[in-house]
Structure 1
């Protein structure tokens, strides 16, 4: 049941003869403030109390807040019916301006915190934000940014979200409003109930045609030192683990649409089994990542789905088996049959309404290791937010054929085939993957004492002194070794990865 409050007082209560509003619609889009629009008659006790730029509105569903924001405009027609338009609280960040400044050698969390502190110094308490969970990174966690009197929201979206593939999420706890900057997989919950599409999948797709869909994938991995054909570069392939074939395919899709091949590159993958797993996932999952699915004509039961949640979408004739995020939804408080919802990520490309210059900066320096106490404190603060602000996940314990403990998996999905974020613990160590169970496990601590990490937060290594060639060789060896240590079907011999059957 929906309820609406204005400055803490009832504005709308279903069934009440006076607390009435009509034609009320909540619109939400990821990385956007969202809006709330409605009509209010003069019988409502709060009719005269609504004020633009003053009144704060809250919409709840089953006593859970789904919208909070500020009234921005009020229009009255000849029948004294007022049309009210409100914007969500993310728009508070439009009310402050960042000064002309240059920032460098900062982590994304530090950058966000500085801008929010400047914002907070310019606005009243009800519009303030505090830095929350930050899970995005750049290549070396050392940002270089300018600000030139843009609004705070423009700075965050253009200089952090766009460039780091991040999403903004608001959380409220302890009387404070926190702004998280997270990756897509860290945003919402995973919904287990799948949405089934048939051969008419394209009817629901807004931006992909049938010509964009492949039924077979030829994966091409990392470059090899030598190849069978002189003069041609050679790459890791899957023939050794795929019956001599260098491709994977979906039989149902081939039977329906014929053979449609596509070559896909994974330059950093040198293990054939891992390359095959990535190709199979791409064929059923990643090739559809740019799709936008309109569920308004599907009449699906998406009552419990929230913005940023991951929805399991299946279309057997196409071989599609993928999780799509809810990137926008339109909720009609008095007419739920008119609700709309869209799945996908393309809306993220449209949320900034003005043109942006795509300036690229050549990076010639190797990853910088920060030695300042402020950088380390920022990392500690972010870890604290991640550990205390988590919504939970799933734990699975696996055993071998003899009933002996094999591994514990802590995941963001109920099974390892669907999970993207995985922490694995087995007798060989602890590893973290953001690319599913096959890995790579880029962050790991293995039993032989090797600690592999993408980002070093303390100043114990002068990384600038390492050559790029040496760094890349160490990174590749460490990743492969960590992945092998956490997979019981692999072992290391003389520093090289070898496969064997269990």
Structure 2
């Protein structure tokens, strides 16, 4: 049902095919979602044609649904992991990301932009990306596609820094204005769409006893707010040394009976007091701040619910018209759990080996604990970096001020020295220096002359020759002593031999008697 192809330098290699028994991956899973690069992971054995063709970031991957003729995944390999288990079987597992991940390969450039439509600002960011990846052997460029996201003024005022393009897209557009990003191929052109919402409402039901295999309902109340403290612009402080971090903000006390918070009575009855704050930096009037807080509380104060469903895609056997697609809405009916809602697919897992095990995630997208910690750590890191920058700047300013003060003091001392210079004393110092130079010259003249040094060298040579003669005599005497020692050893040996013979003769005489 699925065909997997690797592409290196425009040469294709099939590593999985439903009709070729010998060319298979032993594991293959596609994960699709909203506002994220799709993922694909697969595992192959050494006898697979693609085992030695993997090049991270260079090898492209395509997964085709041979039954629907649709491209389920289009991206690249970025993490290969080769391992051998305890039985000696070697495998290669590769993690892949879809084409949306190409936006991680570039950064933006600094600039200030105002009076641009959302589409025009998106075009600026895509141009920056395309310039960075121009000339790459792999085409990573995008064209701006459909843009349906709007705001109240239909224009944006933004700054761009040197951040990653993907991060910049979310920071400058998606996180502030909402909307969803989608990569779309049309006539060989890769488009990036920025839509208010991807997908449409479908009539294909997911119903118990029909195509619903399993369902899991997850309730997340962590975002519930029963008491909100709205905060507006930073108030000016009378303390000249105060920083923004230590300044107070506008509250709703003056228009809310002396209370700086607003409550959701129904939520409070269910969950008790859960107090949180929200900041509106652009609001400077308390009445507007209260209205904004009430609207925020109404729109965001809800428990998020997510359903994870395993459902049979009956369109594969032509029993349903529509297949399940990420972004679409489908009626979900389970009388046992009291569920009868039209829910949106926000995630889909495709098992290319066992298509009947595909999972669908419905409802709101949840952040895991690790993702939450990552975002919090990133925010804390930004604060620390900002504090460090301010500290360094203050230190540099203090150093410059100290250096300037020292320079002024030194200049004043030089000026005073010039004004108060004693020329007579300077003349006396020069005379003393001249006298010291004459004394040194006399000491130099008292040193031995060249002739004296030559005579000393001749005497040294004579004594050296005498010492050499004495050493020769000593060496001759040592040789004579060595010869005599050798003769003495010979005599000693002969005496020992005679002594032994005498002992043997004596022993023989005793035995005979």
1:170 corresponds to 2:155: no
Match of 1:290 in 2: 304
Bigger mean CA offset, 298-307 vs 76-85: 298-307
Question: Do the aligned residues in 1 keep the contact of 2:348 with 2:358 (CA within 8 Å)?
Answer: yes
Counterpart in the other structure of 1:307: 326
| Deviation of 1:190 (Å) | 2.4
Matched, 1:127 2:140: yes
Q: Distance in 2 between matches of 1:67 and 1:98?
A: 27
Q: Once the 2 structures are TM-superposed, how far is the Cα of residue 33 of structure 1 from its aligned partner?
A: 0.6
Q: Distance in 2 between matches of 1:170 and 1:73?
A: 22
> What secondary structure, in the 3-state scheme, does the structure 2 residue paired with 1:137 have?
coil
Match of 2:342 among 323, 329, 339: 323
Q: How many residues align?
A: 287
Q: Give 1:205's match in structure 2, choosing from 217, 220, 229.
A: 217
Aligned counterpart, 1:58: 62
| Residue 167 of structure 2 corresponds to residue 148 of structure 1 | no
> In structure 1, how many angstroms separate the alpha carbons of the residues matched to 2:368 and 2:147?
21
- For 2:94, the equivalent position in structure 1 comes to 84
Q: Aligned pair 1:67/2:76, yes or no?
A: no
Pick from 73, 96, 104: which aligns with 2:106? 96
Distance verdict in 2 for CA 1:131–1:349, change over 3 Å: farther
Task: Give 1 or 2 for the bigger CA radius of gyration.
Answer: 2
In 1: Cα distance, 2:379 partner to 2:154 partner: 23
1:369-415, CA deviations, whole angstroms, 9 ceiling, x for partnerless residues? xxxxxxxxxxxxxxxxxxxxxxxxxxxxxxxxxxxxxxxxxxxxxxx
Match of residue 20, structure 2, among 16, 27, 49: 16
Q: CA separation in 1, counterparts of 2:315 and 2:327?
A: 13
Per the normalisation by structure 1, the TM-score is: 0.51
SS in structure 1 opposite 2:199? Answer: coil
Which secondary structure state, in structure 2, belongs to the residue aligned with residue 121 of structure 1?
helix
Deviation at 1:97, TM superposition (A): 0.3
What corresponds to 1:109 in structure 2? Answer: 119
Q: What is the CA distance between 1:15 and its match in structure 2?
A: 3.5
Change (3 A) 1:92 1:26: same
Higher strand share: 1
Secondary structure, aligned partner of 1:98: coil
TM-score calculated relative to the size of structure 2: 0.50
What is the rounded CA distance, in whole Å, between the counterparts of 2:367 and 2:117 in structure 1?
A: 22
- Cα RMSD (Å) of the superposition? 3.9
Q: Residues 240-289 of structure 1: CA distance to partner in whole angstroms, max 9, x if unpaired?
A: xxxxxxxxxxxxxxxxxxxx9xxxxxxxxxxxxxxxxxxxxxxxxx9989
Equivalent runs, 1:203-352 vs 2, <5 Å: 204-208=216-220, 290-296=304-310, 304-314=323-333, 322-347=341-366
Q: CA deviation at 1:208?
A: 4.8
Gaps of 5+ in 2: 225-269, 271-299, 317-322, 383-513
Q: Residue 13 of structure 1: CA displacement? A: 0.5
Does the 8 Å CA contact 2:220/2:303 hold for their aligned counterparts?
Answer: no
Query: What's the CA shift for 1:183?
Result: 1.3
Task: Return the alpha-carbon distance in structure 2 between the equivalents of residues 288 and 204 of structure 1.
Answer: 20
CA positional deviation for 1:338: 2.9
Aligned equivalents of 1:25, 1:324: Cα separation in 2: 24
In structure 1, list runs of 5 or more residues that go unmatched. 213-259, 261-285, 360-502
Deviation at 1:321, TM superposition (A): 5.3
